[in-house]
Chain A
Amino acid sequence: MNDVLDVALRLLVVFAVFLVLPLVVGQTEHKVMAHMQGRLGPMYAGGFHGWAQLVADGVKFAQKEDVVPKDADRRVFQLAPAVALLPYLLVLVAIPIGPSEGAVGQVVDAGIFFVLAVMGVGVLGSLMAGWASANKFSLLGGLRTAAQLLAYELPMLLAAASVAMAAGTVSLPGILNAFEWWWLPWQIVGALVFFVAGLAELQRPPFDMPVADSEIIFGAYTEYTGLRFALFLLAEYAGIVVLCGLTTVLFLGGWHGPFGADGLGWVWTLLKTALLAFVVIWLRVSYPRLREDQLQKLAWTTLVPLALAQIALTGIVKVAIQ
């Protein structure tokens, strides 16, 4: 009975994190963008810095009418937001935030594979939305999403494989246990490839061609309103949390820090994740959107060779130090 309670408690905590952290990232994005671009936006709701604007937005989304276009494929259209959002919840279960055994939702033996496999499923939601909306802009957005995913899945996998080679295990807590500080310079190329490919998979700027508002309105999500649209937005922010958490765990040493790794390991994990999330927001504000051909070129001619070179380097160093 105690085991059941333990599992239930862990899942509850993961669910709470899943509900809170994406919203925190969303709110941070509003404020960071506002200050970086000198357009302050809503500053009145709730008093201090307009902190309650997020709540107001939530209420607005909940009140809007849920419209399904007449020619759309009803069931697929309505199912798509759930397919886009749920995989990120599943991924969060496997990410360890601290050194102790209790600091991970569920230890998964083939952790890296689990995480990357389930993250890939989330894109099906965008594809379903793009096709089922019966809208040419949505269809174009869906096509671009698929092309982007196919191009960036490979470098992401290769970069993750490099870390797995270095650690000699594919379990996420196992990788963290094997981590040493000099992995940081050793795996830095892989880290960059992983992070950039992850950004592209989330369709975040500068890789937001699939939702380019000046060309195809909002891509696959054009026809969505109200709560279903909010779910897609939430999926994007949950994706940021997952990507930053994963990069932290795989490349930045997770709960390792200059001091206090035993008691305060989870603080290090959260700090590094938050820092990466800030970089994600920063990139959105400061980089122009890449064109479709530039996107494909970056993936196939830059990221894939870089990832392969990283794997070769990892192999050489691994053999040399043994």
Chain B
Amino acid sequence: MIPAAQAAAEAHGFLSPTGVEIAFLLVGLVTLGAALVTVTTRQLVHAALWLVVALGGLAVEYLLLTAEFIAWVQVLIYVGSVVVLLLFGLMLTKAPIGRSPDADSGNRPAAVAVAVAAAAALVWVVVDAFRTTWIDLDGAVQGSTKVSGEILFRHWVLPFEALSVLLLAALVGAIVLSRKKKEGER
């Protein structure tokens, strides 16, 4: 841990929160609430729209953590593209207005178990990694575009390249699959 962050951590307590910390907590609660509604509502399109709220809340959390670049990319990719794709699919399949009685499958217990396990693993990893690290809001910005870019392309180039190869493979795979179907039709 950086010494500056350590000093910042010692100066902080949990009992005298600052404005930013309160905002972080409140937005976190809203995000969690929206996420819960997303998976429990029986109206398909409403679920997609609540997902927008949850993803937007997450972007605000990134902003509060000074990671401006990540926040806008989050909005651009997830709200601007993924949710639009989701809504496109829902509209294409004529998602009804009102409740969908068949929205629940019998896999609910299994899904809950997997979700809880995944959430527990993620929370555990994050808490273990960052435990008492505090962001020094008055010092140099730690999540600006420049800093993110430098860290990504100096220290994390290999995972970055591996990811892009993975995406390329997925792209090629999608093209191959869509072509095969056409030949079968003939």
Contacts and interface: CB of A to CB of B under 8 A. Distances in A.
Interface residues of B, number: 28
B75 A121 contact: yes
Contacts of A150: 81, 84-85, 88
Contact of B95 (A108, A118, A131): A131
B91 A143 contact: yes
Given A109-B68, A110-B69, A113-B73, 5 more contacts: A110-B72, A110-B144, A117-B72, A142-B87, A146-B87
Contacts of B73: 113, 117
A73 interface: yes
B145 interface: yes
A40 interface: no
Contacts of A108: 68
Contacts of A72: 97
B84 A127 contact: yes
A116 B76 contact: yes
Nearest to B148: A110
A132 B91 CA distance: 10
A114 B45 contact: no
A109 B87 contact: no
Interface residues of A, number: 33
Given A128-B49, A131-B87, A121 B80 contact: yes
A117 B76 contact: yes
Contacts, number: 89
Interface of B: 45-46, 49, 52, 68-69, 72-73, 75-76, 79-81, 83-85, 87-88, 90-92, 94-95, 97-98, 141, 144-145
B76 A124 contact: no
A127 B97 CA distance: 14
14 contacts: A109-B69, A110-B69, A118-B75, A121-B75, A127-B87, A130-B91, A131-B87, A131-B91, A139-B91, A143-B91, A146-B84, A146-B85, A150-B81, A150-B84
B97 A71 contact: yes
A128 B83 CA distance: 12
Contact of B69 (A113, A116, A134, A153): A113
* B73, B91, B141: most-surrounded residue (chain A CB, <10 A): B91
Nearest to A171: B145
Given A117-B72, A118-B75, A142 B91 contact: yes
A118 B80 CA distance: 8
B2 to A, nearest CB: 21
Interface string A271-305: 00000000000000000000000000000000000
B162 to A, nearest CB: 22
A117 B144 contact: no
Residue among A108, A128, A131, A153 with most chain B CB within 10 A: A131
B140 to A, nearest CB: 12
B7 to A, nearest CB: 26
